[in-house]
Each structure stands twice: as C-alpha cells, then as structure tokens.
Amino acid sequence: MSTPPRETIQKQIQQDWANREYIEVITGSIKKITDFLNSFDMSCRSRLATLNEKLTSLERKIDYLEACVTKGETLT
Amino acid sequence: MPLPKRCVEPVHVSRGTVPERLAVPSELEAVTNGTLANTVRQLSSLSKHAEDMFGELTREATSLADRTNVLQARIDRLAIKVTQLDSGVEEVSLQDIQMRKAFRSARSFQQQLFSRSTMPSAMLATYARCDRPPPLERLNEFRDDGRDARKFYTDPDYFFELWRREMLQDTERIQHDRGKKVRQPRSNNAEGRGTRRVRVPHSTRDRQKAEVVTRGEHIMSSNQLCRYNIQQYRPDPLYQTTTVPDGGYRAPASRPASQPARPNSIEIENQQNRTPRLTGNGHIVGEESPYGPVEPIYGGSIAGTPRRARPSIPPPAPPAPLQPDSPQHHTPTRSSLPPPPPPPEGSTSPPAMNGASPPHRTALDAHLDQMHAVIGMMSVEALPPRAPTPPPAPPAPPPPEEERPRPPSPASLLRGASALKPPRPAADPAPDPRSDLLKAIREGIKLRKVDKRGEDSAGKYDTLRGVPALHDVASIIARRVAVEFSDTSSDNDSDSDDSAQWTDSRA
C-alpha cells in the first residue's frame, strides 16, 4: 500500500484542524445560546414571579377595598 | 442530585462518527461531517427547548396580563364608586353597620404546587423516560391488610401523610391542652368567690339541649348523683371544697358521668337562688310550685348568675341594694350591643347570657320579692310569651327535700328588705331589653350557624378540587389556624366577659 505523499497528509491534517476549529466555533455558539437562554429564562421567571406577587397583593387589596365600599348584605 | 430540566442532545458530538462497516476514503472528513451533523442535532434540540421555554414564559406572561387587565377594570370600577361616595348624603344607620356580614375573602390557598400536573413539559418528558416501578400492585390480592403493595416500594404521599398526621394530632393536642388550661385557672380563681367558678360555662348548645332532655332525672336523684360526683370529679378538689360549705347538696351537682360540669351546677344554683329568696320574703316554701313555671323563662339568665347560697355564706360583695337600679343602666347598653361575634367554639352564647343576665334577674328578684304570691303568679302568667326563647331553658328543677326547711338567713332577709325598696317600675323596663337580649342571643346562635356553614363550604370546596377535606394542606392549616385563633379569642372573650359580669354584679 503506497503511502500518500507527505504534502497530502499535511494538507488533510490542516484541513481537519480548520474543520475542528469551525466545529468549535459552532459548539461554542451553541453554548452561548444555551447560557443566554438559561439566564433569560431565570430572569424572566423571577420578574414574572415578582409581578405575580405584586398582582396578588393588589388583588387582595382591591378585594378588601371593594368589600369596604360595597354595601354588603346584612344578617337580617 | 440535581435533576436537569432540559438536556440538549446529543451530548457527545464526535463519538461514533466514523462508520465501521463502510470504508470511507477519508476518516478525518467523516469525523468532521459526523460532528457537524451532531452539532446540527444539538441546535435543533436547543431550538426545541427554547420554543418550549418561550412557550412557558408566554403562557405565564399572558395569564399575568389577563389578571392585570381584570384588576385594572376592577380598579376603574372602584375609582368610580369611590368618587360617587358622599358621606354627607348617604345615611348609614348604626344598625346596618352592626348587622353587616363579616368580610370573607374568596381567595383560595394555592396548593399542590409541585404535582405532576404542574411539572414542566421538559421534565415530564424526562420523567416519562424513567423506568416504571415494578408492578407490585398485582400482589394486592394476596395481602390481608388491604394496603397497597406498591406503597412499600414507592409512596409519593408518604411524607405528606406523615405531616398530615402530625399536624392533626398537634391540633387535637392543642385543643385538649387549651381546654384544660381554660378550666384550671377558672377553678383557681373560683377560690374565695363562688361566682366565678360556676360562671365559666363553655357549654355548647348541643350539650345544653342534651341536658335539657335529661335534666329531670338527675335533679330528682340527687343523692344518687352525689355519689357519682364524688367518684367522677375527685380530681377537682377546689370544686368540692367550695361546694361543701354550701350545705353539701351542691356537690351532688346532679352530674351524670357524661354530662358537662357547668350546666348542671347552674341548675343547682337555680335551686339555691330561689329558696333563699322565697324564704327571705316570708312567702314560705309552699310557693315553690307557683314559681315553678317562671324558671324556664329565666333559666338562661340564671344560668349566667351563679351565686353561692345566701343562707350559709354571705358572698363577698352581695350587690343587693344596688341591683334594682342596675337594669336601667346595664340592660339597654347590653341590648344595643351587636350580636356577639361568632368564635368557632361554643363559647359564644354563654358569654352573651352571662353579661346581660344579672340585671334581669335582680329585677325579677326585686319584683317577686315585693309582690304577693298571687300577684307573682299573675305576673308569671303575663310573662310566658317570652318564655321559650332562651336556648338553655332549664325546666324548673324541684329542689331537694332537705333544702326547703332552711331558716332565712340574715343575708337573705337583708336582700328581701332591700328588694322592697324599688317599686314596680323595676319590672317594667325589663321586658324590652330582655327581648332584645334574647334576640341578640338568637342572633349569636345564627352567627355560629353561619360560621359552620362557611366551614362546610370550605370542605366542599376542597372536595370539589378532588381532594377530600382535611386531606390537603390548606384545610389542615386552616383548621390549625382556626383552632389557635379560636382559643385565644375565646380566652379573651370569656375573660372580658367575666370581668364585665363581675362589675355588673357589683354595680
């Protein structure tokens, strides 16, 4: 089996390194996307939770105020 | 172990990228192509997860937006309503304010937050990939105790059951302890003055009803029940020491083993209060029977004014001379008070009776002492329309035989003499406040019913959610809170009521 010429092997290896670098960039980007998505998710959830809390307390206050203002039914 | 919510797959992008069976001209290119393909798979997986994530966020944000819109509408309505409010124009009667229903929030507890239904879809997919537990439920038919065989392998409700049992037992224990605690300080306070000891009636209406049903028997067989009392109530020495000087017949207390202590002692107080009064006035013992029908009328009020026997021991502060005035002072204010708030446990109606009863009773005493027996009978005939209203309504218990021939004591004579001072008007203002009082008592009972209904509805709500009552966190905690709250409130109520009663009787 004849060995390929030295230049060919060199070329293939260089090409392989270039491909690996390319793949590395892609996977790095995927990681970045994942990190962003995770942080985005966390941030959104915490903000939504805060909002939810505020909304709940507001709803309770409005409940109370409505009960104060409304002429509720009496016992008799 | 942290459980990842979303996994981007495949994890190993370069593994297994070289086909084994297929001869490839260039392995390096094959690895590169395979790795690129796996990277694209990763990207697709990532986009799927991202879509899922954004979907969740969008759903949440949408629900928040909906709530915000609803809230905005409510606030607008409220703003309009508030601007329309004008205290100068609108008339609010005090009666309406008092009779207004208590505010009850419609909010419900959020619970079952980490159940299968609230699990995010990505985790659900992960969960679905898990191995199922072995089908141990097939062995159920071989079990004798009826327990689920799979629960020995895995039981998701195990810790909740543990917590539930502990909480329920804790609640029961607190109730039990509080009951004891409430009773003991009373008996301590009761030393020296018999009034406080017997006034503690924390009897529910049911107890009183049952007592009404069975009352005749114990009163009749007082001697027999005296024996019961000694056997049953030995651990309460204060009670016995205080009762013995009164002639020993109160210790009988006519208590059956299963009956609550106070209502029966109240009955005995009835007998005691009546006999001195009659003998002190010189109307002698034979008038027991004409006054018999009066008892159901004032049974409720008498129940609240326990006193020691006048003949044997003069009470520390016998309010005899001032009592005839008291109805005018106290009963109107009492009757104008709102109906008692509905604490959960049966401490409501007794305080209401306690607080307002002494003035009525003293008025009646004055009235009856002053009048002749025949006139007394006439007045009794005039009164009956109001008779059936008081809930406890103890029928006239025939006093024990040995009680009757007791000679009139100085205290009772003094009382009779003092009762002579106020003429008839003392009886006249009484009826209206009393009817109001009875009305208030009725209201109080109504209130308690309302409260029960609320609890029932809460239970229904729980069952509607598919969780039986007291099998979910919210109802258990609600019950616990209710128990603690009711204990403190009943304590406060009874204390304040005791003091009020005390001042009333002194005034």
pTM of the model: 0.46
- Which residues of chain B are under the pLDDT cut of 70? 90-92, 100-101, 105, 107, 181-471, 487-507
Which own/partner contact pairs does B170-178 have at CB distance under 8 Å and 24+ positions apart?
B170/B480, B171/B476, B171/B479, B171/B480, B171/B483, B174/B483, B174/B484, B174/B487, B175/B483, B175/B487, B178/B487
The C-alpha of B52 sits at a distance from chain A's nearest C-alpha, in angstroms, of 11
Query: Alpha carbon of B82 to those of A26, A57, A58, A67, B102: distances in Å?
Result: 61, 20, 17, 12, 21
Query: Alpha carbon of B393 to those of A26, B123, B211, B286, B386: distances in Å?
Result: 90, 65, 10, 23, 11
Chain B residues closer than 8 Å to A33 by CB:
46, 50
Instruction: State the Cα–Cα distance between residues B52 and B459, nearest whole angstrom.
Output: 37
Nearest to B35 among A23, A44, A72 (CB): A23
Q: What is the ipTM of this complex?
A: 0.88
Closest residue by Cα to residue B427 from B324, B332, B316, B352: B324
Stretch 96-155 of chain B: residues touching chain A, C-beta under 8 Å = 96, 99-101, 103, 105-107
Instruction: State the Cα–Cα distance between residues B444 and B352, nearest whole angstrom.
Output: 8
Does any CB of chain A come closer than 8 Å to the CB of residue B65?
A: no
Q: Do A72 and B92 contact (CB within 8 A), yes or no?
A: no
In the prediction, which pLDDT does B66 show?
96
In the prediction, which pLDDT does A35 show?
94
Question: pLDDT tens-digit profile of B312-342?
Answer: 444 444 444 444 444 444 444 444 444 444 4
Question: pLDDT tens-digit profile of B262-290?
Answer: 444 444 444 444 444 444 444 444 444 44
